[in-house]
Structure 1
Amino acid sequence: MPGVGSRGPQLAPASRARRCRLHCTANAGGGTPVAKNSILVVGGTGTLGRQVVRKALDEGYEVRCIVKPRMNPADFLRDWGATTVQADLTDPTSLPATLVGISAIIDCATARPEESTQKVDWEGKVALIQCAQAMGIKRYMFMSIFNCDKHPEVPLMNIKAATEQYLAATALDYTVLRLCGFHQAVIGNYAVPILEDRKVWGTNDDSRTAYMDTQDIARLTLAALRNDACNRRTLTLAGPAAYTTKEVIEKCENLSDSRAQVSTVPTWLLKGTRGLLRGADWAKDAADRLAFAEVLAGNEAWTAPMEETYALLGVDPASITSLDDYLQEYFTRIMKKLKQVGATADRTNFYV
C-alpha cells in the first residue's frame, strides 16, 4: 500500500483489524432476507452526504445514517425519514451493528478539519470495508477525489487512492466516484464573503475546476447504485464547464453588484508555509491541508468528459445544473431577501 512519507496510510494494526473481523462475523449470521433498497450512508450530515440521504429517501430507499455522538445533532436526518445509529469510524467495534439489514453502503465521509485523516479516512474506511465483506454487503459506493492517484504527495489524495486500491482487491461490487468540486463550496468560499464584505482568498494561478451541484452528484450516485454496469468501475463526475478562481469571483461580483476584497496568496507561499508547518508535530494536519491547496493552485484542469458517463447512467446532460445557473438562482434569492429587509451597504444580515 502506498505511503506519503511519514504521514502515509498505515494499515490498522493486525489485532485491531482482526477484532473488527471477529465482530463482523459474529453479527453476520442470520438467514433474514435483506431488503435491496436498504442503504447505509456514511457522512450523512456533510455537504454531499445530506443530499444523498434526501435523494435516496425521495426515491423510496430505506436510509440509515451513521452519526457520531456530538454536540451538533442530526435531527434533520430523522425529520426527513432516515434512521440514525451512533457509531464512529475510529472505533471499529461500533461498525458491525450499523450494517445489519443493509444491502449497500454509500460512503461520503471524510475527516473534519479537527480530525485525523489517517484514523478516519484510512483506518476507519479499511475497518468499514472489512465489515462490509464479512457481512455480505452487496454494493459499496466510495466518494473519492479527481486525479487522487497522481498526487501521492498530498496525504488525503494518497489515502483516497490507497482506499481505491484496497477496494479493488476485495470481492465487493464497488463503484468509485471521483469528484472535482461542489457548487456549494463556491458559495461558502466566495459568494458569502463578498456579500459580507469580507476578504476573499485566491491564488495567482490558472487552475480550473468543473464544479457540480451536490444534488446532481447525489442523483448520479443513486443512478450508479442501480446500474450493474457500474460495478467495479471508477467514474469521474465533473460539471459542464471549468472555471478559474478569478472567473468565479468575477461572477459573484457581477451577480451581487459588489466588489470583492481579494487577497491573493502566491503558490510559492503555500509551499513555503507547508514546509514550515511540517516541521512541527502540532501543525502536521494543517500542513497536510496546505498540500491539497498546492494541488488546487497548480495550474491543473479539474474536469473530465462526461458524455459516456451520462449515457451509462441514463442522465440527460441538460438536466445538470451549471455553475452560472446555480449562482444566478442563489443571488436572485439573496438579493430579493436583502430588499425585503431593507439592507443597503451593510450586507451582514442577508441570512435574515
Structure 2
Amino acid sequence: MVLLVVGATGTLGRQVVRRALDEGYEVRCLVRSFQRASFLREWGAQLVRGDLCKPETLPPALEGATAVIDAATSRPAEAGGVYAVDWQGKVSLIQAAKKAGVERFVFFSILDAEKYPHVPLMDVKHCTEKFLAESGLDYTILRPCGFLQGLISQYAIPVLEKQAVWVMGDAAPVAYMNTQDIARFAVQALRQPKTANATYPLAGSRAWGAYEIVRLCERLSGQDAKVSQMPLGLLRGVRKLARFFQWGWDLSDRLAFSEVSASGEPLTAPMDEVYPAFGIDPKEITTLEAYLKEYFTRIMKKLKELDYERDKAKKKKVPF
C-alpha cells in the first residue's frame, strides 16, 4: 500500500510517518521543502514536492497512492492563513484524491468543531468534514482534543526555568492525547474496514484543567510555579483590535480558537466504542501523568549530569 501523508513535518504528521513506516507501509510525503523534510527521507519515506495552496502540484503526488492521511494545518505566519490552507487547500486535496482513485482518506479534525462556528479554524474543520463525507471517498475522520506535546512548552519548561506559566481564567479542562497514540489510530484505520465512512473522537484518559497540570509539574519537578492569569476580557479585546488590520486577521482567528478553552465546557469524549473499533487496547495509551513524569525524569537527570560536570570542571582549575 502506498500511503501519502500530508503535513508530514508537523508535530502530528511526523508521528504518522514514523508509525506507518514501522508497520511496513510505503510512505510518500507531500512537502514544500526537501531540506526541511530531510529527516523523513532518512527514516525511509519518499518526498514529493507539493503545496496545498497550489492544486496543480497535488495530482503527481497522488499518482499510485492507495490512501491519504491528512495531518496538515496552517501555521500562524502562513500566507493566506486558515482559509487558504485548511479550506481551499483541503478541498483541492480531496478532489484530487477522488480523481486519483484513492481508496481511503483519513482526516484530522478537532473535537466539537461544529459547536464553534464563530471560531474560524473550528468552522473550517467542520466544513471540511462535511465536504469529505459528501465527496464519495471512503473516509475516516478523527477528532482529537489536544496534544500532550504542547504541554511541554506551555507548562513544563516555564516551571523549570522559573518563568511565568500563563493560564486563562476558568479554562476548560482538556483530555490531551499523545501524538504517537493519535498516529496509531490513524494508521490502524487503514486496516479496519469498520472504521470507513465514520467519525471518531480521540480523547485521553481524562480531562485536565490548567491548574491541575501546573500542580503536577510542580510535584514532578520539585519547584514552585509562577502562575499568571490571562483575563478572557483582555483576550477578546486583543482579538477585536487585530481584526482592524489585515496583518492581524490570522492572529485574530487564532485568538478566537483560544476562546474555546475559555468557554468552561470540557473538551473530552467517551472512548468506549472507539478502542474496539480500531482494535487498540486503552491500557497502551499514554496518560498525561506518565508523559510528564518521563519528561521531567529525563530533564532532571540531564540537569544533574550538567551540574556534576560543571562542579568537576571547577575542581580541576588550578589557582595561580
Instruction: Please give the range of the TM-score, normalised by the shorter of the 2 chains.
Output: over 0.9
For residues 292-307 of structure 1, the aligned pairs below 5 Å read 292-307=257-272
Which deviations, in whole Å up to 9, do the C-alpha atoms of 1:230-252 show, x marking residues without a partner? 11110000000111111111111
Taking the aligned partners of 2:196 and 2:289, their CA distance within structure 1 comes to 33
Shift, 1:69, TM fit? 2.7
What's the counterpart of residue 214 of structure 1?
179
| Aligned residue among 94, 99, 107 for 2:62 | 99
Asked if 1 retains the 8 angstrom alpha-carbon contact of 2:164 and 2:227, the reply is: yes
Taking the aligned partners of 2:3 and 2:165, their CA distance within structure 1 comes to 39
Matched, 1:44 2:30: no
Shift, 1:278, TM fit? 1.3
Aligned-partner residue type, residue 64 of structure 1: R
Question: TM-score, normalised to structure 2's length?
Answer: 0.93
Matched, 1:276 2:241: yes
Taking the aligned partners of 2:163 and 2:9, their CA distance within structure 1 comes to 27
> Against the structure 1 CA distance between its residues 301 and 170, is the aligned structure 2 distance closer, same or farther, given a 3 Å change threshold?
same
What's the counterpart of residue 28 of structure 1?
none
Unaligned runs of at least 5 residues, structure 1: 1-36, 345-352
Asked if 1 retains the 8 angstrom alpha-carbon contact of 2:64 and 2:100, the reply is: no
What's the counterpart of residue 199 of structure 1?
164
For residues 165-176 of structure 1, the aligned pairs below 5 Å read 165-176=130-141
Matched, 1:287 2:267: no
Taking the aligned partners of 1:343 and 1:262, their CA distance within structure 2 comes to 30
For residues 318-333 of structure 1, the aligned pairs below 5 Å read 318-333=283-298
Asked if 1 retains the 8 angstrom alpha-carbon contact of 2:145 and 2:202, the reply is: yes
Taking the aligned partners of 2:245 and 2:148, their CA distance within structure 1 comes to 34
Aligned-partner residue type, residue 196 of structure 1: E
For residues 113-262 of structure 1, the aligned pairs below 5 Å read 113-115=76-78, 116-262=81-227
SS at match of 1:342: helix
CA RMSD, Structure 1 to Structure 2 (Å): 1.3
Taking the aligned partners of 2:50 and 2:134, their CA distance within structure 1 comes to 26
Matched, 1:112 2:75: yes
Which deviations, in whole Å up to 9, do the C-alpha atoms of 1:153-187 show, x marking residues without a partner? 00010000000010111110011000101110111
Shift, 1:343, TM fit? 7.6
SS at match of 1:53: helix
Taking the aligned partners of 1:241 and 1:86, their CA distance within structure 2 comes to 39
Shift, 1:206, TM fit? 4.3
Taking the aligned partners of 2:27 and 2:235, their CA distance within structure 1 comes to 41
Asked if 2 retains the 8 angstrom alpha-carbon contact of 1:205 and 1:267, the reply is: no
Shift, 1:314, TM fit? 1.2
SS at match of 1:183: coil
Runs of 4+ that moved beyond 3 A: none
SS at match of 1:208: coil
Unaligned runs of at least 5 residues, structure 2: 310-320
Aligned-partner residue type, residue 47 of structure 2: T
